[in-house]
Chains A and B, each alone.
Chain A
Amino acid sequence: MGNGNVLELKDITKSFFGTTVLKDVSLSMSPGEIHALVGENGAGKSTLMNILFGMQVIFDTGGFEGQVAVGGQAVTIDSPRKAMELGIGMVHQEFMLIPGFTVSENIKLNREPTVSNVASRLFGPKLETLNEPLMQSDSKAALGKLAVSIDEMALVGGMPVGHMQFVEIAREIDKKNVRLLVFDEPTAVLTESEASLLLAAMKRLSSEGIAILFITHRLDEVMEVADNITILRDGEVVSVMPRSEAKLDRIAQLMVGRKIERPVLPPRKSEPSDKDIVLKIENLKVDMPGERVRGLNLTVRRGEILGIGGLAGHGKVGIANGVIGMYPASGRVAKDGVQIPLNDPKHALLSGMAFVSEDRRGVGLLLDESIEMNIILTAMQVQGKFLKPGALPNLRLEDRAAVREHALTVIRDLDIRCTGPAQLVRRLSGGNQQKVCLGRAFTMEPEVLWVSEPTRGIDVGAKQLVLDLLVKFNREHGMTIVMTSSELGELRKICDRIAIVYRGQIAGVLPPDASDVDFGLMMAGKSATLEEVS
């Protein structure tokens, strides 16, 4: 493999517990090349990077097959340190910086140049003095390569995110032998002007001979800087192309495209339409960290299953959380024409809505309580169900018999695999925990059900069960369902319409059978010739 390539990955295959996440992935990069790696969430990009950096998780799960060569030499990267010694650097999505340290201290962290002193001669090199002037001049040089003006003596805490991003990069390029940098979604947290600065810096670095592997969702950025593009889908390389041959819609299609087997869903008596709107959301803004919603408008038809899709970080998850009142929100939400107060979960729930959180263990469950308690508590607190009669509403006692009876019904209906209603939820599998979450919501008998990421982190069989349950409740009880999911495939399986969120707003609403190109483009913020679903 002595062909002068900086990096050569050959036939990488990796499976986790029997599920293949990477299959025969090959990728090669020459010095100074900017290579874009694109793919949906879950396409296998992170796993590939974990292999490249020798992360422990790879070896704990049985290693991988295939070869890795750096600079033409076959290597075994068995630890992040080894990757660093080989000259591979990573710019993290979440910054790994210490806020209380200066820029130069962060750049030189753990690699500080030192000079010896009395104490270090006596007690060893750990006590050597930092060579601060050298640290500062090195930092200055590294920042200079990026053509940004950041004071190397400033504290990192309180800097704009864009600057922190540059400090991260400076730290990587300050490493003397660096020849390959991996940028993992570097622009996700940046403003547009910061992002264009970053892209310019990337070009500068590549002109100095440093190869860059650019992982991103943003196809317009790919078109701007990449020399070559590798498209990953479901763990396989579906296409490698030079930019000159690439077209935006082609990439989008390749990225999303898969055979969607939309099952035949049971029919309804009358199809939902715009004549009967159950929920109207206007100018919704939600301050949910990482998933901000910025002035979104959306209408939900009575009786439909509405999907909300979009890439991570664009705010799709924020919508349900804002409407239910889990995160600070502003705007107008009206159900059946009656305005619902925001930031008040109790009123949101009282108005006939229920919520299944994307954060199952954090928000959705009381892990150390019984299944039955998890199922009934919300309905008891909000609607006063399962309480014995009493004069003081807040001091009415729990009706144990009614609770037990209902819990048994739910366990049977949703097929929750457990030892009984008194079992602690912590001991259930992910899929069964999710069913408990659904049971909790169904117990509210809501008219509108918000479900976020219902199949995240549960196995394939349980996924199908959860989707079937949603369809069943929609059809049998006429429950309107708004389902947020990162998996476009499952949205297309059961939804009537799919709204795509881009940068905190609805980019458009598509029918589930719209083409892959349309979905891909809309997720990337390029709504070309799309029409709303009629």
Chain B
Amino acid sequence: MSDESKATVRQYARNAYEQLGLPRLIIIAFLLSLFTLAVIMRMDLSILIKDSITRIGMNGILVLAMLPTLACGVGLNFGLPVGVIAGLVGAVTSMNWGLKGFAGFFAAMAIAIPLAVIAGYLYAMLLERVQGQEMMVGTYVGFSVVSGMCMFWLLAPYRNPAMIFALGGKGLRTTITLDRTFGKVLNDFLGFSIFDVYIPTGLLVFMGVFYVLIALFFKSKAGLAMRTVGSNPMYARSSGINVQRMRTLGVTLSTVLAAIGILVYSQSYGFVQLYTAPLTAAFPAVASVLIGGASLRKATIGHALIGTILFHTLLTIALPVTQTVLQGADISEIARMIMSNGMIIYALTRAERR
């Protein structure tokens, strides 16, 4: 190799390093070592890869929901359950009507989005009053909404026998199967297998469409205004931007994305989980976007995408691999907790240091 091309390679490597940053390189290295381990342990790689891809598609939009609030300066949207609940109401309503397949899925979206707009707007009004503490307040808003909605699930007038508790005949079940309604509609749409790896085409395309839409939004006039509000509200004000309106828009947009995100998640998972299940919905999404390199000051589509891929691949393959290595010790849930919460702490402490 000539010196010149060596220099080019070095430059290229340095650029890649600066783009990705050390934490992501470490995680990528860790992932590669896990795959190596999996090969050594003669595990079925195709299943690991298939699960990873599916999980990425399932969670992509929930992670994307973090971007608008980060961009408009509200911070990480720990109140993600607000949107998730709106999505779940859409899902159960559509199921109650007995709609099947794509009709059921899009009906659920059609119900969920207006609900999310209203809920998001109210949530934004609240956050406007607690400026500077949005993330803390958001966390508790999420908790309260989830708990409050437990009563709704119990008392709401849903009558479809497939959904309500078998005993007593009242109240929605904690976990409802989507088998006979819109379970896996996206995953199965145009799905195909390559080298024994199943590719859920519809799921990935649906996620991709939202990523492109949001990327375009941040290049539009309103999107740039939102970013400006996030990076310097005084500059925004002196540029004639209505700061409060942009923050409201950001929070509402995030809530709507959360509602759509949970629908995508549920259809892929095959179940709708109610009651306290959405309590911690925000944390994996927060961890993903942070792992992707976003900070409270800067967050891009790329961060969301890389974060989703890294975090969910890690979660998906780390557990089976370690379990195989450790001979069946069940550490899955604990490891999941340590990883996602550890990542949040790491990234938040880093972000505060300016």
A interface list, Cβ under 8 A from B: 324-326, 345-350, 355, 357, 359, 362-369, 373, 377-378, 380-382, 384, 387, 393-398
Q: Which residues of A contact B10 (CB under 8 A)?
A: none
Q: Which residues of B contact A365 (CB under 8 A)?
A: 232, 235
Identify the closest chain A residue to B298 (Cβ): A368
Stretch at the interface among B52-60, B221-229, B274-282: B221-229
A397 near B238: Cβ-Cβ < 8 Å: no
Q: Which residues of A contact B221 (CB under 8 A)?
A: 380-381, 384, 387, 393-396, 398
The CA-CA distance from A396 to B237 in the complex, in Å, is 21
List CB contacts (< 8 Å) of B264-286 with chain A: none
Given contacts A346-B242, A377-B235, A380-B224, 9 further A-B contacts (CB under 8 A): A324-B238, A362-B234, A363-B234, A365-B235, A366-B231, A382-B239, A384-B221, A398-B219, A398-B224
B interface list, Cβ under 8 A from A: 216-217, 219-222, 224-225, 228, 231-232, 234-235, 237-242, 297-298
The CA-CA distance from A326 to B219 in the complex, in Å, is 26
A394 near B234: Cβ-Cβ < 8 Å: no
Q: Which residues of B contact A395 (CB under 8 A)?
A: 217, 220-222
A355 near B238: Cβ-Cβ < 8 Å: yes
Minimum C-beta distance from B239 to chain A (A): 4
Q: Which residues of A contact B219 (CB under 8 A)?
A: 397-398
The CA-CA distance from A346 to B239 in the complex, in Å, is 7
Identify the closest chain B residue to A348 (Cβ): B240
Return the 6 tightest CB-CB contacts between A and B, nearest first: A346-B240, A378-B239, A394-B222, A363-B234, A382-B240, A345-B240
The CA-CA distance from A33 to B111 in the complex, in Å, is 81
Q: Which residues of A contact B240 (CB under 8 A)?
A: 345-350, 378, 381-382
Identify the closest chain B residue to A324 (Cβ): B238
Checking B217, B222, B237, B241 against A326 with a beta-carbon cut-off of 8 angstroms, the contacting residue is B237
**10 pairs from A and B in contact (CB 8 Å cutoff):** A347-B240, A363-B234, A367-B231, A368-B297, A377-B224, A377-B235, A381-B221, A381-B224, A395-B222, A396-B221
Identify the closest chain A residue to B249 (Cβ): A394
A345 near B237: Cβ-Cβ < 8 Å: yes
Q: Which residues of A contact B217 (CB under 8 A)?
A: 395
A397 near B220: Cβ-Cβ < 8 Å: yes
Q: Which residues of B contact A394 (CB under 8 A)?
A: 220-222
Identify the closest chain A residue to B232 (Cβ): A366
Q: Which residues of B contact A397 (CB under 8 A)?
A: 216, 219-220
A366 near B228: Cβ-Cβ < 8 Å: yes
A363 near B298: Cβ-Cβ < 8 Å: no
Identify the closest chain A residue to B233 (Cβ): A363
Q: Which residues of A contact B228 (CB under 8 A)?
A: 366, 377, 381
Identify the closest chain A residue to B234 (Cβ): A363
Identify the closest chain A residue to B220 (Cβ): A395
Minimum C-beta distance from B130 to chain A (A): 22
Minimum C-beta distance from B256 to chain A (A): 15
The CA-CA distance from A350 to B239 in the complex, in Å, is 10
Minimum C-beta distance from B234 to chain A (A): 4
Q: Which residues of A contact B220 (CB under 8 A)?
A: 394-398
Identify the closest chain A residue to B235 (Cβ): A366
A363 near B235: Cβ-Cβ < 8 Å: yes
The CA-CA distance from A364 to B237 in the complex, in Å, is 10
Q: Which residues of B contact A326 (CB under 8 A)?
A: 234, 237-238
The CA-CA distance from A397 to B222 in the complex, in Å, is 9
The CA-CA distance from A347 to B240 in the complex, in Å, is 8
In this complex, which of A326, A377, A387 has the most chain B Cβ atoms within 10 angstroms of its Cβ?
Answer: A377
In this complex, which of B217, B238, B240, B241 has the most chain A Cβ atoms within 10 angstroms of its Cβ?
Answer: B238
Checking B231, B234, B239 against A381 with a beta-carbon cut-off of 8 angstroms, the contacting residue is B239
Q: Which residues of A contact B234 (CB under 8 A)?
A: 326, 359, 362-363
Checking B235, B242, B297 against A364 with a beta-carbon cut-off of 8 angstroms, the contacting residue is B235
The CA-CA distance from A373 to B220 in the complex, in Å, is 13
Identify the closest chain B residue to A355 (Cβ): B238
Minimum C-beta distance from A284 to chain B (A): 18
Q: Which residues of A contact B235 (CB under 8 A)?
A: 363-366, 377
The CA-CA distance from A355 to B234 in the complex, in Å, is 13
The CA-CA distance from A347 to B239 in the complex, in Å, is 10
Minimum C-beta distance from A350 to chain B (A): 7
Q: Which residues of B contact A347 (CB under 8 A)?
A: 240
Minimum C-beta distance from B47 to chain A (A): 42
Minimum C-beta distance from B72 to chain A (A): 14
The CA-CA distance from A380 to B221 in the complex, in Å, is 7
Identify the closest chain A residue to B225 (Cβ): A381
Identify the closest chain B residue to A345 (Cβ): B240
Q: Which residues of B contact A373 (CB under 8 A)?
A: 224
Minimum C-beta distance from B110 to chain A (A): 21
Q: Which residues of A contact B232 (CB under 8 A)?
A: 362-363, 365-367
Q: Which residues of B contact A348 (CB under 8 A)?
A: 240
With A397-B216, A398-B220 already in contact, the answer to whether A381 and B298 are too (CB < 8 A) is: no
In this complex, which of A324, A362, A366, A396 has the most chain B Cβ atoms within 10 angstroms of its Cβ?
Answer: A366
